[in-house]
């Protein structure tokens, strides 16, 4: 539901060359001159969707998603890759958010879902987001923090409804995309962005969901791919392309999932579903069950990308904005 997010301002949607992309000589990034501004909601009705699909922001976002999809093809989570200073700072940021969960235990309340302690946790992020993002950015990009921090705050759920869904996930991808556009993250960080940073983000969100019993935002029930996530299925299926033994039909076998989940993001998602839901897999996750009949991971990957564009980036409007920004 990226349509519910504020679009990146023009400077965040510029080409990689304009944004000071890394050069071939591995020297320090040369940052372009930016005019930072707080993002604002640009899509308020269904007729605005055409503007979104034709925008530089849409092109930049999908280009980012597809570039990472190509980068992780055939690679394990446990493969070797470099971790830059920015990547390590992002991991520290996510670790801080994780620690705040431990410091904000759930309240004793009558309702089963939507524990109100989440609002206390979120209020701390809302207050500290600019500082957290400033610590990730190079000193010459500190002015970008307020703009980029909006996406971080949007990425962890809605504090009014105490829910989380694929629109919030998309906000975190947009957050990472913005860091790439300003040159804080670079081409050589691609594997670490997925296998370190995004994987750590998934761990954080699963902990938030379980601790505060967050409801799925905009869930389609058994007709949806997953209650909370979509991108790890895209990138996870790319990891498995041309795998010598694991085929799509195997991810519904609990034994295969338990043996290989540490290497593959797709299987880690299936493992989490198996832990959180009961009953036959075909009943609680019908869409995934149907995907298991697709003959190859390449076809699964292509189909999920089409599904993401059609159902998550361009789906019907929800009149309520996500997050607090």
pLDDT digits (tens, 9 = 90+) for 140-180: 999 999 999 999 999 999 999 999 999 999 999 999 999 99
CB of 151 within 8 A of CB of 144?
no
DSSP codes of every residue in 25-40: T-----PPP------B
CA 54 to chain centroid, in Å, comes to 22
Provide the pLDDT for residue 44: 79
Please report the domains of the chain, with CATH numbers, ordered by start residue. 2-21+32-218 (no CATH), 222-309 (1.20.120.1150)
Instruction: Name every residue whose Cβ is closer than 8 Å to that of residue 209 and which is 6 or more positions away in sequence.
Output: 164, 228
Q: Tell me the chain's radius of gyration from C-alpha atoms.
A: 19
Provide the pLDDT for residue 313: 79
Provide the pLDDT for residue 222: 52
The backbone torsions φ and ψ at residue 7, rounded to the nearest 5 degrees and listed phi first, read -70, 150
| 103-134 pLDDT, tens digit each | 999 999 888 889 999 999 999 999 999 999 99
Spell 109-126 as b/e; 16+ CB within 10 A means b: eeeeebbebbbbbbeebb
pLDDT, one tens digit for every residue, the chain (325 residues): 333 444 444 333 333 333 333 333 344 444 556 788 888 887 778 788 888 888 888 999 999 999 999 999 999 999 999 999 999 999 999 999 999 999 999 999 888 889 999 999 999 999 999 999 999 999 999 999 999 999 999 999 999 999 999 999 999 999 999 999 999 999 999 999 999 999 999 999 999 999 999 999 866 555 568 889 999 999 999 999 999 999 999 999 999 999 999 999 999 999 999 998 888 988 889 999 999 999 999 999 999 999 999 887 775 333 333 333 3
Sign of CA dihedral 310, 313, 317, 318: positive
Provide the pLDDT for residue 224: 67
Helix residue ranges, H only, the chain: 49-53, 56-71, 85-103, 117-136, 145-154, 166-181, 190-192, 199-212, 231-239, 254-260, 265-276, 281-284, 286-291, 297-307
Q: With 0.95 as the threshold, say if the pTM is over it.
A: no
- Specify the DSSP element, H or E, that contains 215: strand 215-216
């Amino acid at each position: 539901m990226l349509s519910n997010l504020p679009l990146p301002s023009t400077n965040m949607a510029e080409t990689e060359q304009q944004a000071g992309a890394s050069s071939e000589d591995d020297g320090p990034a040369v940052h372009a001159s930016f005019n930072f501004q707080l993002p604002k909601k640009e899509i308020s009705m269904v007729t605005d969707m055409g503007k979104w699909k034709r925008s530089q922001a849409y092109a930049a976002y999908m280009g980012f998603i597809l570039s990472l999809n190509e980068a992780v093809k055939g690679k394990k989570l446990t493969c070797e890759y470099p971790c830059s200073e920015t990547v390590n700072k992002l991991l520290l940021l996510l670790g801080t958010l994780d620690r705040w969960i431990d410091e904000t235990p759930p309240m004793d309340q009558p309702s089963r879902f939507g524990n109100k302690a989440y609002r206390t946790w979120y209020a701390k992020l809302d207050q500290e987001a600019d500082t957290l993002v400033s610590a990730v950015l190079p000193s010459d990009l500190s002015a970008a923090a307020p703009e980029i921090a909006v996406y971080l705050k949007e990425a962890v759920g809605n504090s009014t409804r105490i829910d989380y869904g694929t629109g919030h996930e998309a906000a975190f991808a947009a957050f990472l995309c913005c860091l790439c556009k300003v040159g804080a993250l670079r081409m050589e960080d691609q594997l670490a962005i997925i296998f370190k940073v995004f994987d750590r983000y998934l761990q954080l969100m699963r902990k938030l969901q379980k601790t505060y019993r967050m409801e799925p935002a905009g869930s389609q029930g058994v007709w949806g791919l997953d209650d909370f996530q979509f991108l790890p299925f895209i990138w996870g299926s790319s990891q498995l392309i041309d795998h010598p033994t694991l085929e799509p039909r195997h991810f519904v076998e609990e034994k295969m999932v338990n043996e290989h989940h540490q290497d593959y993001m797709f299987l880690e998602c299936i493992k989490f579903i198996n832990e959180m839901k009961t009953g036959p897999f075909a009943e609680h996750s019908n869409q995934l069950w149907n995907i298991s009949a697709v003959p190859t991971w390449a076809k699964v990957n292509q189909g999920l990308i089409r599904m993401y564009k059609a159902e998550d980036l361009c789906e019907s409007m929800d009149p309520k904005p996500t997050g607090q920004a």
